Structure 1
């Protein structure tokens, strides 16, 4: 991630750095803030690996459906954020300078759709048990799938192929597309590349 330039859409994307050290902690933070801030349907929430001289960990971001929803969420966030956590929305920053800067990096990456591992996104609740590739693409915000280890010129997987979700589906923003990496699984099926470790986080939020 690089210094934010505030791309179009960044004014509806909030970044937060609360000092989380790993993806599981960041997933928990996302679900906690989704509940505490009462974020609306249509919100995308992502994790972002932070690798700077000052910080090694994971920040999170929330893309709200519109600027008005983002402004309302920002006001609520400022009231509940821990004093040592940072946040950013557009050109505004809140909290300690270092945390606010990394929060801004996460928000900018998400706004540009260049990176971010999606934990919450439209219709994620439908991705339980076994679904098909067609289900993934037609019924959720995921708009592209890839199979790890296959050459770039390989055809896309058949849309009728079953996907074993393990109730844990974490696509990523890549070149503007919400992309799910899959791997071959038993019996000619596919499964998400990322597996729950050790179990899906915050099952009570599902």
Structure 2
């Protein structure tokens, strides 16, 4: 009796201590009702490949800069996640980027370096900033319809590459999703 109680107690402790979480490879993710891994991975894959090919075949030089990706959907979408993943992939493909948001801090550091309080071997050199020749910007949009308890959602992710010199859109790409999901409690 004591042994059965001990086995039951240990089993209960193991089950109650488990987190209920598990990991899987993002490539094996399945579609969900909300924006998720499937949409992020497909967007990153198509956008980064298309832009990398365009840069290497058409532009060949210049620095790119990101502008915030706008989410105009009813869903919470972490646009920074998408941006970071595309940026990461493009950087691996040797596409050059600049981050102009650090200019103010760098300028202060350069000015401090001129005071003589910074050793010459680690002082930041003046005149080495790179300017972006193009900016990447984009939007996520949707159209939602409801039919017989089914939510039909058409989502588009569009990126644009804009020349800062001419303001001309020189590249664009779009990834589309058509999602259908059952709406619980629809049509009482």
TM-score (norm 2): 0.24
Larger radius of gyration, structure 1 or 2?
Answer: 2
TM-score (norm 1): 0.22
